[in-house]
Structure 1
Amino acid sequence: MHADPTLLSLAILATFALAGGGAWRFVRRGERMQGGLMIVAALVLLANVLIWAWPLPR
C-alpha cells in the first residue's frame, strides 16, 4: 500500500503552514497555548507523513 504523492505533498504544506502559524502566534502575538498546540499538530502531521512514506519491505 502506497500513499498518494499528492496527499503527501499537501500534508507537508499543511505542516509548514501549521508550524509557521504556530511560531507566529507563539512569538508575535503572545498566544502561547494556541501557538504551542499548532506546533504540536505540525509535528504529529509530520510524523504521520514519515510513517506513510516509509518504504515497506518486499
Structure 2
Amino acid sequence: MPMSIVLSIVMLAAFALLLAAFIAWRKGLPRKQIGLLLLLALVMAVNVAIWTVPDSEGTAPIDKVD
C-alpha cells in the first residue's frame, strides 16, 4: 500500500477521533476519555506532519520512501 494512502487514512482517523471527542463531550462522558481521544488525534496528526513536512534541504521523509 503506498505511503500516501496510509497517511490519508491516518488523517481521516484523526478527524474521526476529533468528532468522537466532540460527541463524547456533548454526551457528558468523563473528561479523561475525551482527553485521551484528543491526545490520540494530536499524536496521529503530528505523525503525519513528521512524514510530510520538508526539512531544511527541501525534501520530506515521504519522498525518500520507495
Shorter-chain TM range is 0.7 to 0.9
2:35 alignment partner in structure 1 = 36
Tell me the number of residue pairs that the alignment of Structure 1 and Structure 2 aligns.
55
Structure 1 unaligned regions, length at least 5: none
Residue type matched to 1:55 in 2? P
Structure 2 unaligned regions, length at least 5: 60-66
2:8 alignment partner in structure 1 = 9
Q: SS at the partner of 1:55?
A: coil
What percent of counterpart residues are identical?
38
Cα deviation, residue 13, structure 1: 0.2
- Higher RCO (CA 8 Å, separation ≥ 6 residues): 1
Cα deviation, residue 52, structure 1: 0.9
Q: Report the structure number with the largest CA radius of gyration.
A: 2
Residue type matched to 2:17 in 1? L
Cα deviation, residue 30, structure 1: 1.0
